[in-house]
Amino acid sequence: MCSYVKFRKLLDIQSIEFIRIMGEIDMNEKCVVLNAKKMNFDGKLDFSMLSSDVTVYDDTTKEQLSERIQGADIIVTKEMPVSGEMIQHFPESVKLICEAGTGYNNIDLEAARKKGITVCNIPAYSTERVAHTAIMMMLNLSSTMQVQMKMLARGNHDNFTKNLQVSHVEVNGKTLGVIGAGHIGRKVMQIAQALDMNILVHSRTPREDEKGIRYVSLEELLKNSDYISMHCPLTESTKHMINRETLSLMKPSAFVINTSRGALIDEAALIEALENGTIAGAGLDVQETEPPEENSPLYTMDNVLLTPHMGWKGLETRQRLVSILADNIKKFMEGTPINVVSSL
């Protein structure tokens, strides 16, 4: 009994010492989340796992930034513009910027590099949910669901009391063009294959054809696809890759779907094409300006399915995001950073 008590005391002392040491380490990890509401709009996320010393702000203005990051080691943002000018005025304590998403074009990477700040992102956290959003849009457009919902909202029951008033077609046997063959693009292809669709892919990285999948030029994809789904990053070379010229290559019956970045599409050219019947319709989870201007015709066009950049916003998706953020921070503090997009 005496030996057991001594053994328990030893364990307790070791446990207390371990907690003390870990507490000292954690105290050096001051983490500031600058615009948590972008991720935690429903209050269901727990940011305490990021660090034992974490401060969470719903939103942060440019004027509030300097005061809020004083003494911070780690800054977490979600699609918040972080310019070179802002980074130049960061305190020397800042060593890591975590972008809480896959895209990081909102951060001046060169300025961060010059300041000695590492930047990391969250790759592949929303693959399934974004892919499901793209497929959801395609299926809804194939049944003109957006018009059916508007009719019901107006009290119009003609689809029930008369013959079906809207277009309603199968997607099996149709051709899906996928622009970008990363994680999300490939998940979309997988689901489309289960729907018995033919698949054309345009990718910046040359690839060999696969069973049921052909890699083709952008022009060939645009000319031959019934549905076109965007899954590439926004860069100087991809900005407005869907424009007046490329829209004119598409079938009049084609639909374009964008769940990637709004500026991949020249929105003015798209609206013109939708109004003129150059293409049949569009599904837009992302827009060139988010949110669109109050007077944007995209809100009311019958051939547009518009959603508020919701592809990544599934609860489980956002919980996964916070978990990967915590891993990024932990690995960085251990000296083995992961998911780095810019460093010294």
Note the pLDDT of residue 7: 36
Please state the pTM of the whole predicted model.
0.83
67 catalytic per annotation: no
Question: What number of other Cβ atoms are within 10 A of residue 333's Cβ?
Answer: 18
Contact 131, 191 (CB under 8 A): yes
Q: What is the mean pLDDT of residues 8-24?
A: 42
Question: Strands of 198-202's sheet, edge to edge?
Answer: 213-215, 198-202, 175-179, 227-230, 255-258, 281-284, 304-306
pLDDT one-digit tens code per residue, 243-281:
999 999 999 999 999 999 999 999 999 999 999 999 999
Length of the chain: 344
**Diameter of the chain by CA atoms?**
89
Strand pairing category for 213-215 and 227-230 = unpaired
Return the higher-pLDDT residue of 324 and 25. Answer: 324
56-65 contact pairs (CB < 8 A, 24+): 57/32, 57/33, 59/34, 59/35, 60/34, 60/35, 62/86, 65/34
Catalytic residue selected from 290, 293, 316, 334: 290
- Res. 1: pLDDT tops 90: no
Top-tier CATH class for 2-124+315-342: alpha beta
Contact 341, 320 (CB under 8 A): no
SS (H, E, C) 250-305: CCCCCEEEECCCHHHECHHHHHHHHHHCCCCEEEECCCCCCCCCCCCHHHCCCCEE
Catalytic residue selected from 261, 267, 288, 320: 261
Note the pLDDT of residue 25: 42
309 catalytic per annotation: yes
Structural domain 127-306, CATH architecture:
3-Layer(aba) Sandwich (3.40)
pLDDT one-digit tens code per residue, 27-38:
358 999 999 999
For residue 120, give the 3-state DSSP assignment: strand
Average pLDDT, the chain: 91
Catalytic residue selected from 129, 202, 309, 320: 309
pLDDT one-digit tens code per residue, 304-331:
999 999 999 999 999 999 999 999 999 9
Identify the helix (H) or strand (E) that includes residue 185. Answer: helix 183-194
pLDDT one-digit tens code per residue, 122-151:
988 999 999 999 999 999 999 999 999 999
Under the banding of pLDDT at 50, 70 and 90, the label for residue 212 is very high
Domain with CATH 3.40.50.720 in the chain: 2-124+315-342, 127-306
- Res. 26: pLDDT tops 60: no
Note the pLDDT of residue 28: 58
Note the pLDDT of residue 191: 98
Torsion of CA 314, 319, 322, 327, to 10 degrees: -120
Report d(CA 304, CA 267) in Å as an integer. 12
